[in-house]
Structure 1
Amino acid sequence: MSQKILVAGSGKSGIAASRMILKTGDEVVLYDSNDALNKDELSEQFKGEGSFSVLLGELKKEDLAGVDLCVISPGISLDAPFVAVLNEENIPIWSEIQLAYHHARGKLLAITGTNGKTTTTALTGEIMKAFYDHVFVVGNIGIPYTEEALKTTEDSVTVAEISSFQLETITDFRPHVSAILNITPDHLNRHKTMDCYIKVKESITKNQGAEDSCVLNYDDPVLRAFGSTVKSKVVFFSSREALKEGYCLDGDMIIRNHEGVREDIVSVHELKLLGRHNHENVMAAIAMAVEAKVPMEVIKKAVCEFKAVEHRIEYVAEKSGVKYYNDSKGTNPDAAIQAVKAMPGPTILIAGGYDKESEYDEWIESFDGKVRYMVLLGQTREKIAECAARHGFTNVMYAEDMQEAVSVCASYANNGDYVLLSPACASWGMFKCYEERGEIFKECVRNL
């Protein structure tokens, strides 16, 4: 018997979810609180695909007649007014990844954490593709899980980047291999407290059993403690500690210690990725691949060939002896700390953007003499400048747009310096998304 499903949100994930639901023979009501959208244009996208209708503006109880389920897009907060209406009517709310999981088949590897998700997901996907015939890389990395779920088979492997927003409304979502890379303050404007944010991240493991695996960062004290509570097999990695069991660094060598046997895997000098945080991402990807039964020789080859993902400490160009790096995906202070640490020499930093109620003290302190100047953009520029001044960093300039920011950096940079876009803030307000911000930065650099 077919269901009537309300899909909340008409963005990328909402469209993908609607299309998948129609393919399974269920009815879709696409809902968006923005009543300025064009209902006819939205409907036209699904012409001939099944029973589809559009609902805009305020959601009323009478609109929910016959609705069995709501699938909510990750960008929508559970504090949104229409969610209260759904709760009053006792309509279950699923995330887009929960819907996809409900229909998907095969092996699932799922990665979350505050930072490093995209790099680790992309790398894990490349390793899987080197060994398995049918691999899908989905989720927060850019391709909605619902866009690929119906293509999966019992023999396929899906690698998914999972955000805290997507985890808020899972029910039986269960990866065969999960990973939590780290947990540092982020999205507190939505999750309210750090404790709530941590619990949501950790929920990626809540349905796993003894036959499943969970990869955790031993250097994160929250995750180290959490490891003793997980029902699945736990595999630790560390860039700072020598682990008797797990993956760690011995000097410049990534090694695996397992059941008393040491295995040298790869030197960090063989990698094309910069920075200790990327060495951690590599260890996490290796650990997940081993749990997915990929031979180590296949893993090593894929790891050595892998290049940085776009917008994550991405090399752009060298102009007049100055190297430019795009880290637009550094949307919180901890990610931006890792990018600054990865720069090999004196750095001029472009930062600022939308305020997610982050604190910037630790980030400013991480400059440690390496950052010569900081050029600030967006809503947070005064807040960041004030924080920097409290820590004695006063080489701060403002820019009205990215072109001005890049021009200022070029004029102040010396031969051998590095210019880094790593905003420590979201892109909203000035840009549609971090990808657009990064593309505009790269275009400005190329035009110097």
Structure 2
Amino acid sequence: MKDITTYKNQKILVLGLAKSGVSAAKLLHQLGAFVTVNDAKPFEENSEAQELLALGIKVVTGSHPIELLEEGFVKIVKNPGIPYTNPILEKAIEKNIPIITEVELAYQISEAPFIGITGTNGKTTTTTMIAEIINHGSEKKKAKLAGNIGFPASTVAQNAAGEEILVTELSSFQLMGIQTFRPKIAVITNIYEAHLDYHGSRAAYVEAKWRLQKNMTEEDTLVLNGNQPELVTLSKQTKARVLFFSTTKELTEGACLKSGSLYYGSEKIMDASELGVPGEHNVENALAAIIVAKLEGCQNEDIKQSLAHFSGVPHRTQYLGVYAGRKFYNDSKATNILATEKALSGFENEKVILLAGGLDRGNDFDALVPFIKGIKAIILFGETKEKVAKAAKKAGISTILFTEDVTSALPLAFAQSQNEDSILLSPACASWDQYPSFEVRGEKFIEAFQKIKEVRE
């Protein structure tokens, strides 16, 4: 960790806690700043605030009082989830107080370089693939996961040596709060419409994602999805060297899918069928990871072996295993229709039993119809089960079953399945009608899978 004096004796406000806020507050305290933490959760329910208070850090909880800004803060480190429309942030902007996110703080103190990955879909999978390839067969793991993937960048950066690499997943929320952050390699997996409630418009969302490359120079490399015309157009607006990946176009540079195989330039890396996770979206993720791995000097055989054994990120088309000839996949992270469409692209529909349903956000599921045609059966639960059933009937699915939740859905799915079928949880809905998070929903599916094996063994 760099020994910086930037924050010594400076008054800094950390707005919002969770993992990143706690990490930022502790780091700033260590750097000699006068830190005040402000979190909306009441103190008696706020174990994080209690922990920071015990360290001698000032905490203000229960609300975000605008009066706090009268204390003369020179900078605010903001939790990414707090929108800039929050009154205290609007007032801070009016007073010209700089607002950063924790990843910017991490960059300022890190001795290790960054690889930054963002995108609407696939960023967690791509981030994990990159780290696993770089570390494949290595006695000393060189790549360290950081950022939006669950490891606060400012914590990881403190313990990273100069010869290591921070492979960092970055959300649009985090990227809005960078100033000097400069990755040596950056990846944008794709851009679709998302988080409009936070950003206000698609243009603002795209602008936030594009900030990933704002400080990059000719010495750095930006990896972009060549399937997307929008990113091809944006590529003309960066100083960084650009390499594309594509599943639809043959490329002489970068990475592409050609005749069923994954290539880096003219070098064949592996057959697409050898990937450990199914789906065209995972072919895209793998192509992006291959470019980064080659830039990092990884050998083709190491890349192939790593991607062939990659079983997916938990809850993202995660392969759980085979039992009684059936393959089981946990894609609980599919909280919208687009994510389920992408998951289904990796399967033969006539061999799929789909588990779906969840929180009702007011939309219908007609967009799902072309993608679920031909599937063997669909098991539905949650608030949207009747709506999804309407789409299933339009798709001509003959076996449509209703149940209470994920736990009861799996035995029903198993009963409808045969040897060589795939049982796929890909709900196309958020989980909050029944579960506190998609992770909990996915864990319940995994538990149900384990129970089926125990009962029948």
Between the aligned partners of 1:335 and 1:370, the Cα distance in structure 2 is: 17
Match of 1:80 in 2: 86
Match of 2:282 in 1: 278
* CA deviation after TM superposition for structure 1 residue 176, in Å: 0.7
Match of 1:256 in 2: 264
- Contact 1:376–1:396 (8 Å) recurs in 2: no
Is 1:56 paired with 2:62?
Answer: yes
Counterpart amino acid of residue 235 in structure 1 = L
Match of 1:347 in 2: 352
Quickly say closer, same or farther: Cα 1:104–1:398, change in 2 above 3 A: farther
Match of 1:225 in 2: 233
- Contact 1:377–1:398 (8 Å) recurs in 2: no
Match of 2:295 in 1: 291
* CA deviation after TM superposition for structure 1 residue 415, in Å: 4.5
Is 1:431 paired with 2:431?
Answer: no
Task: Classify the secondary structure of the residue corresponding to 2:428.
Answer: coil
Match of 1:93 in 2: 99
* Alignment match of 1:367 (pick from 372, 376, 396): 372
Match of 1:29 in 2: 36
Counterpart amino acid of residue 51 in structure 1 = I
* CA deviation after TM superposition for structure 1 residue 386, in Å: 5.5
Between the aligned partners of 1:342 and 1:263, the Cα distance in structure 2 is: 24
Is 1:444 paired with 2:444?
Answer: no
Match of 2:146 in 1: 138
Question: Any gaps of 5 or more consecutive residues in structure 1?
Answer: none
Match of 1:338 in 2: 342
- Deviation sequence 1:74-119 (CA, Å, 0-9, x none): 2222233332233343322211212212222222101111111111
Between the aligned partners of 2:152 and 2:429, the Cα distance in structure 1 is: 24
Task: Classify the secondary structure of the residue corresponding to 1:265.
Answer: strand
Task: Classify the secondary structure of the residue corresponding to 2:157.
Answer: helix
Quickly say closer, same or farther: Cα 1:280–1:65, change in 2 above 3 A: same
Match of 2:25 in 1: 18
Task: Classify the secondary structure of the residue corresponding to 2:267.
Answer: strand
- Deviation sequence 1:252-307 (CA, Å, 0-9, x none): 221122xxxx2222222333222222121111011012223434454344333433
Between the aligned partners of 1:37 and 1:392, the Cα distance in structure 2 is: 54
* CA deviation after TM superposition for structure 1 residue 29, in Å: 1.9
Quickly say closer, same or farther: Cα 1:64–1:332, change in 2 above 3 A: farther
Quickly say closer, same or farther: Cα 1:165–1:338, change in 2 above 3 A: same
* Alignment match of 1:171 (pick from 176, 179, 196): 179
Quickly say closer, same or farther: Cα 1:305–1:446, change in 2 above 3 A: closer
* CA deviation after TM superposition for structure 1 residue 405, in Å: 2.8
Match of 2:249 in 1: 241
* Alignment match of 1:309 (pick from 302, 307, 313): 313
Between the aligned partners of 2:361 and 2:180, the Cα distance in structure 1 is: 30
Match of 2:455 in 1: none
User: Which shows bigger deviation, 364-373 or 284-293?
Assistant: 364-373
- Contact 1:37–1:56 (8 Å) recurs in 2: no
Counterpart amino acid of residue 176 in structure 2 = E
Quickly say closer, same or farther: Cα 1:358–1:45, change in 2 above 3 A: farther
* CA deviation after TM superposition for structure 1 residue 127, in Å: 2.1
- Contact 1:61–1:89 (8 Å) recurs in 2: no
Is 1:121 paired with 2:127?
Answer: yes
Between the aligned partners of 2:288 and 2:179, the Cα distance in structure 1 is: 25
Alignment of 1:209-220 (within 5 A): 209-220=217-228
Between the aligned partners of 1:160 and 1:375, the Cα distance in structure 2 is: 36
Between the aligned partners of 1:396 and 1:32, the Cα distance in structure 2 is: 46
- Contact 2:373–2:396 (8 Å) recurs in 1: no
User: Which shows bigger deviation, 335-344 or 279-288?
Assistant: 335-344
Q: TM-score w.r.t. structure 2 length? A: 0.87
Question: Any gaps of 5 or more consecutive residues in structure 2?
Answer: 1-7, 453-457
* CA deviation after TM superposition for structure 1 residue 402, in Å: 2.2
* CA deviation after TM superposition for structure 1 residue 327, in Å: 0.6
* CA deviation after TM superposition for structure 1 residue 387, in Å: 5.5
- Contact 1:108–1:175 (8 Å) recurs in 2: yes
- Contact 2:379–2:403 (8 Å) recurs in 1: no
- Contact 1:317–1:445 (8 Å) recurs in 2: no
Match of 2:115 in 1: 109
* CA deviation after TM superposition for structure 1 residue 440, in Å: 1.1
Quickly say closer, same or farther: Cα 1:274–1:179, change in 2 above 3 A: same
Match of 2:4 in 1: none
Task: Classify the secondary structure of the residue corresponding to 1:440.
Answer: helix
Q: How many residue pairs are counted as aligned between the two chains?
A: 442
- Contact 1:108–1:158 (8 Å) recurs in 2: yes
Alignment of 1:318-337 (within 5 A): 318-319=322-323, 321-337=325-341
Between the aligned partners of 2:195 and 2:242, the Cα distance in structure 1 is: 27
* CA deviation after TM superposition for structure 1 residue 414, in Å: 4.3
Counterpart amino acid of residue 40 in structure 2 = S
Task: Classify the secondary structure of the residue corresponding to 2:91.
Answer: helix
- Contact 1:185–1:358 (8 Å) recurs in 2: no
* CA deviation after TM superposition for structure 1 residue 366, in Å: 1.6
Between the aligned partners of 1:138 and 1:335, the Cα distance in structure 2 is: 23
CA RMSD in angstroms, aligned pairs only: 2.7
* Alignment match of 2:216 (pick from 199, 204, 208): 208
Quickly say closer, same or farther: Cα 1:354–1:94, change in 2 above 3 A: farther
Between the aligned partners of 2:196 and 2:376, the Cα distance in structure 1 is: 27
Between the aligned partners of 1:3 and 1:358, the Cα distance in structure 2 is: 48
